[in-house]
Amino acid sequence: MLPPRNTNLALLSALVLAFATGIGAVWTGSARGAWIVLAHGLVGITVVVLIPWKSRVVRHGIRRRRLTRWLSYLLALMALTVLASGIAYATGVIRAVGDRETLWWHVAIALGLIPLVIWHVFARPARPRRTDLSRRNLLRAGTLAGFGIAVYAALAATTTVAQLPGTRRRFTGSYEAGSFQPAAMPYTIWLNDSTPPVDPSSWRLSLGDRRLTLTDLGRYRQETVRATLDCTSGWYATQTWTGVPVARLLTDVAPGHRSVRVRSLTGYDRYLPLSDLDHLVLAVAVGGAPLTPGHGYPVRLVAPGRRGFWWVKWVAAVELSRRPWWAQPPFPPT
């Protein structure tokens, strides 16, 4: 059905979409974003559907015995691993490899794939032609998407019928881990961060030019909220968090303020949109007990509706900022 040129262009478009929707899938934390996780799955399966055609193109290319073919083998191997890990994780057949969630590997290898794909596109270029947008090709693209949807639906149905763990995922794709049992909730720390030792008597919360001790913070009226911590590495936990609403601490919002900056003792920080202010809580307890060191003792941010990487642990400073929230890396660098 597909000539080599179309196979390559279709594959490239699918890969670009897969990367874009993949970023969207780890970004979204509210049900409004559920569609992007679905789209990521559909696009991923469309890449799988293209494998038979691409292997024909590849067999042809191998005969030319270029030295760089080893790089291409590596690319192919990594791409297949990304697809396999995505499917293994989504169906729940393989939840972890080594001491990492399968999704973690999926993301890590996909990121490693980016430079290889860019190299490949430049090394084996296919220049766009006007005829690429012909009716016939659009029809082909439609057929291909139809195939993708059919295979996706079949896989989803199998997952449901076989009662695989994948059926019990949240709309973000994450698996439940330790809800209402904080002791069973995983710890997640970025590679370049680590749990700091905290002396509760010398700990201070910096609020602009004010400094609060833990006792000062305890004098504010506290609230208990139910919120879901959903890590981009593929697990989530709903807990009851108790602490001081940030809006009670930052009361002098001025017209120029655009975000709330929350910084950790370790230097890790996030700028949250000012519109979040009313939902943010500086939690000192979870499930009725004080936070453990790994979960952010003495104080951590609870950011309902946002993915885990916004939930800054070991908070040292909270301030109103003039910087817009989007003027920061979308994800922490490591």
Q: Which parts of this chain interact with Mo ion (CB under 5 A)?
A: 188, 231-232, 308-309
Stretch that binds ligand MTE, among 2-10, 36-44, 220-228, 305-313 (CB under 6 A): 305-313
Q: Which of 35, 73, 180, 190 binds ligand MTE (CB under 6 A)?
A: 190
CB of 153 to ligand MTE, least distance (A): 31
Measured between its terminal Cα atoms, the distance across the chain in Å is 42
Q: What is the DSSP string of 285-296?
A: EETTEEPPGGGT
CB of 120 to ligand MTE, least distance (A): 31
Identity of the residue, 53 or 314, whose beta carbon is nearer to ligand MTE in the bound complex: 314
What's the CA gap between 70 and 82, in Å, rounded?
18
Q: Which of 40, 261, 295, 306 binds ligand MTE (CB under 6 A)?
A: 295
Contact call for residue 176 and ligand MTE (CB under 6 A): no
- Cβ atoms of 258 and 324 closer than 8 Å: yes
The CA distances from residue 215 to 105, 205, 221, 302, in Å, are: 42, 11, 12, 20
Out of ligand MTE, Mo ion, none, which partner does residue 187 contact, by CB within 5 to 8 A per kind?
ligand MTE
Number of residues that bind ligand MTE (CB under 6 A): 21
CB of 18 to Mo ion, least distance (A): 21
Contacts of residue 104, defined as CB under 8 A and 6 or more positions apart, other chains included, come to 233, 234
Identity of the residue, 28 or 188, whose beta carbon is nearer to ligand MTE in the bound complex: 188
What's the CA gap between 229 and 330, in Å, rounded?
18
What x-and-dash track marks residues 245-284 binding ligand MTE by CB under 6 A?
Answer: -------------------x-x-x----------------
Backbone angles phi, psi at 290, to 5 degrees: -55, 155
Residue with CB nearest ligand MTE? Answer: 308
Amino acid (one-letter) located at 321: S
The CA distances from residue 280 to 61, 121, 186, 204, 211, in Å, are: 55, 44, 22, 19, 19
Q: Could you list the residues that contact ligand MTE (CB under 6 A)?
A: 185-190, 193, 229, 231, 264, 266, 268, 294-296, 308-309, 311-314
